[in-house]
Amino acid sequence: MFKQLLLWTLGTFIMLQAIQIKIPEPPKNINPAKEIQLPKEMMSTFKTSCYDCHSYQTKMPWYGHIFPMSLEVKSHIKEGRSAVNFQEWGNYDETKKQKIYKGIAKTINFQMPMPMYLSIHKEAKLTQKQRNKIKSWAKNHIKEEY
């Protein structure tokens, strides 16, 4: 009885793995010149804290492939990249860039990086000083006419 239940559970778990979200394939040729240009220190902060969801350089954790975590992880990457991909920066027009500067100034204190992500990725945590720096960088780029 117990063995049957175990097999059934295992079988279900394996079948559920078929439920997957597809992240669009990154382009074959990523143009490095299109990447956002930031002061060195801030660039490394972005790479540690934002690039998993906002670039093609995602470091996929092992559980990112396993249902049900995969749904959460992959949808964040998919939606994150479509909201802003810092490796596509040079392809954005000024309207889109302005939206992102405003978005950064607005989200950097609480929403970004996503709190759930931070609970697992301690290395991505930002100090208040780093948040302030990013916020004032973003604010400096905001143009009122947009």
Residues that bind ligand HEC (CB under 6 A): 49-50, 52-54, 76, 79-80, 83-84, 100, 103-104, 107, 112-114, 117
CA 140 to chain centre: 23
In whole angstroms, what is the distance from residue 135 CA to residue 104 CA? 7
Q: Which is nearer to ligand HEC, 13 or 139 (CB)?
A: 139
CA 63 to chain centre: 16
Q: How far is the CB of 75 from ligand HEC (least distance, A)?
A: 7
Helix, strand or coil, per DSSP, at residue 36 = coil
Q: Which is nearer to ligand HEC, 9 or 136 (CB)?
A: 136
Q: Which is nearer to ligand HEC, 50 or 88 (CB)?
A: 50
Q: Which is nearer to ligand HEC, 70 or 113 (CB)?
A: 113
Q: How far is the CB of 2 from ligand HEC (least distance, A)?
A: 39
For 94-138, the DSSP string reads HHHHHHHHHHHHHHTTTTSS-HHHHHH-GGG---HHHHHHHHHHH
Q: How far is the CB of 8 from ligand HEC (least distance, A)?
A: 34
